Structure 1
C-alpha cells in the first residue's frame, strides 16, 4: 500500500483546509458537503456525541458557530488511494485548554468526505 501519494495528499489537505474555513465561517452548506451523507458518519465533540449525519446537522444548526480558534500542528496521512486521517491541534481565541481534532476521510465518487470526527480539549491529570 502506498502512503502519502503526493497528489492524494494535496487533495485531502485542500479538503481539510476547506473544512477549517467553513467551520470558522459557520458555512453549514460547505460543512455538509465535506461530511459523508450517511447514518454511519459520526462526530464526538467536546460536549456532544453525534451518531449519523442527521444528528450532526441538527447540532450544527442549533450551535450557532464554532468558537474561533487557531490551528497549531496539523498531520495528514493518506493510506492507499481512498482513506486518510487528519489530526490537528488548536487553541481557542481567548485561551483555555488546548484542543485536538481527529478526522477520518474517505474518497467517494464526489470527493473526499469526513466519515468520523473527534474533537476534545486537553485536560490535566490529577
Structure 2
C-alpha cells in the first residue's frame, strides 16, 4: 500500500482545506456535502455524539456561529492507498482564543471524497 501518493494527498488536502473554509464561513450546504450521506457516518464533538447524516445536519443547523473563525496551528494529512485518508489539525479560534483539535477520516466514494468519521475535542495546554 502506498502512503501519501502525491496526487491522492493533494486531492484530500484540497478537500480538507475546502471543508475548513466552509466551516469558518458557516456554509451549511457545503459542510453537509462533505459528509458521507449515510446512517453510518459519525461525528463526535465537544458536547455531542452524532450518528448518521441527519443528526449531523441538525446539529449544523442549530449550532451557534459566533466564534467560528479560526486558524490551523498544525495540520497532518495522510493517505493510505488511493481511497482512504486521515486529516488531523490543531486550531485556535480568533475571537475567544479557544484551542481545539479535529480528526477526520476520509474515503473516496462514488460521489467523491467524503468524511466518514470525525472527532472534535478541546485543546490541551502543553507544559
Q: Is the 8 A contact 1:106 1:115 kept in 2?
A: yes
Structure 1: 5+ residue runs without aligned partners? Answer: none
Structure 2: 5+ residue runs without aligned partners? Answer: none
Deviation at 1:96, TM superposition (A): 4.2
How far apart are the structure 2 equivalents of 1:31 and 1:98?
21
Q: Deviations over 1:24-60 (max 9, x none)?
A: 1111111111110000100011111101110000000
Aligned residue runs from structure 1 range 1-126, under 5 A: 1-65=1-65, 67-123=68-124
Q: Is the 8 A contact 1:97 1:123 kept in 2?
A: no
SS at match of 1:57: helix
Deviation at 1:97, TM superposition (A): 4.2
Aligned length: 125
The normalised TM-score by structure 1 is 0.92
Runs of 4+ in 1 over 6 A off after TM superposition: none
The normalised TM-score by structure 2 is 0.92
Q: Deviations over 1:74-125 (max 9, x none)?
A: 000000111100000001113444210000000011211000000011246x
